Structure 1
Amino acid sequence: MTAAVKYDDVEVGQEIPPVDYPVRRVNLIMYAGASGDFNPIHWSERFAKTVGLPDVIAHGMFTMAQAGRFVSDWAGDPGAVVDLSVRFSSMVVVPDDDQGTVITVSGVVQEKQEDKRVLVALTAKCGDSRVLSRARAVVQLA
C-alpha cells in the first residue's frame, strides 16, 4: 500500500497514472469462488461460445472491482472509496493462455468536495475497448 494521498495535495484536473491489472482465467475462477457467481460464461470456453460469446469473459463486477482497487491503492487506504458507480460498456474477453488479458485503469480528479472527499472520473480499458463508462468514485482522503 502506498502512503495516503492528502486532500490538500490534490488538484482538480490532476491525472492519476494508469495501472495495468493482468487477468487470467485462474483470476476468474478465484473471483467466482469469492462472489458465488459460477456462471459458465466466466470459465468455460465451450459454453461461452455456445451462447454467442467470443470466449470466456470476466465478471462485470470483477472488472468494476479493479476500478475500486485502483482508487483505493491511489488513496493509500483500502477503505477510502465512499462510492463507486460504473456502467459496463464492453466485455473483457480472457483467452486461455498464459498471457490472459489486461485491464488498464486511469483517473482524473474532477471535483474537490466537502469533508476531504474528491470525485474521480475513471477510465477502464481492455486493449482499445473501453470496458467501463460513466465510471466515477468518491474517495475520502487524509
Structure 2
Amino acid sequence: MAATVKYDEVEVGTEIPAQTYDVKRLNLVMYAGASGDFNPIHWDEHFAKSVGLPDIIAHGMFTMAQGGRFVTDWVGDPGAVLDYGVRFAGMVPVPHQAGTTIVISGVVEEKLADNKVVVGLTARSGDQKVLSQAKAVVRLA
C-alpha cells in the first residue's frame, strides 16, 4: 500500500502519476463471477461480434473499478474515498491473446474543508477515453 497522502502536501493541480492496468479475458471471467454479470458480450467472442461489437468488451463497472483502485492506491487508504462517480465514455475491447490495458491518471482539482480533495481522473484504453466526468472525493490525512 502507498504511503498515506497528507492534505497539506497537495495543491490544486497536483498530478497523480499514470498507472497502467492490464486487462486479460481471465480478468473479465473473474469479474463476471464476482459481480454476477454474465452477459456474453464480456466473455463470448462470437456473440459479441454477432451483435456488432469489435470483440468482447470489459464490463463498464470493471473499468470503473480500476479508477477506484487507482485512487485508493494513491491515497493509501481505501476508506478515504468518500464519493466516486463516472460516466462511461467508450468500450474496452479485449483481444484474445494480447488483452489490453487501461491507463489512468489523475489531478487534484479542488481542495475542500475537512482535509477533503476532489480528484479528477482520466482513463484511456488505446487512443480512446473510456471514462468521462470521473471524479473522486477523498479525505486525506
Structure 1 and Structure 2 fold alike (TM over 0.5) = yes
Structure 1: gaps of 5 or more residues: none
Q: Mapping of 1:108-123 within 5 angstroms?
A: 108-123=107-122
| Equivalent residue, structure 2, for 1:133 | 132
**Which segments of structure 1 move beyond 3 Å, counting only runs of 4 or more?**
none
Q: Is 1:60 aligned to 2:69, yes or no?
A: no
Q: Whole-Å Cα distance in 2 between the matches of residues 67 and 114 of structure 1?
A: 24
Q: Whole-Å Cα distance in 2 between the matches of residues 110 and 93 of structure 1?
A: 30
Q: Structure 1 residue 81: deviation in Å? A: 1.2
Q: CA RMSD in A?
A: 0.6
TM-score between both structures, scaled by the size of structure 2: 0.98
Q: Whole-Å Cα distance in 2 between the matches of residues 23 and 80 of structure 1?
A: 26
SS at match of 2:12: coil
SS at match of 1:69: helix
TM-score between both structures, scaled by the size of structure 1: 0.98
Q: Whole-Å Cα distance in 1 between the matches of residues 76 and 137 of structure 2?
A: 14
Q: Whole-Å Cα distance in 2 between the matches of residues 80 and 28 of structure 1?
A: 27
Q: Is 1:16 aligned to 2:16, yes or no?
A: yes
* Equivalent residue pairs, number: 141
Q: Deviations over 1:51-90 (max 9, x none)?
A: 1101000000000000000001000012221111111011
Q: Is 1:93 aligned to 2:97, yes or no?
A: no
Q: Whole-Å Cα distance in 1 between the matches of residues 26 and 46 of structure 2?
A: 16
Q: Mapping of 1:65-84 within 5 angstroms?
A: 65-84=65-84
| Equivalent residue, structure 2, for 1:36 | 36
* Identity rate, percent: 69
| Equivalent residue, structure 1, for 2:47 | 47
| Equivalent residue, structure 2, for 1:104 | 103
Q: Structure 1 residue 140: deviation in Å? A: 1.2
Q: Whole-Å Cα distance in 2 between the matches of residues 41 and 69 of structure 1?
A: 24
| Equivalent residue, structure 1, for 2:6 | 6
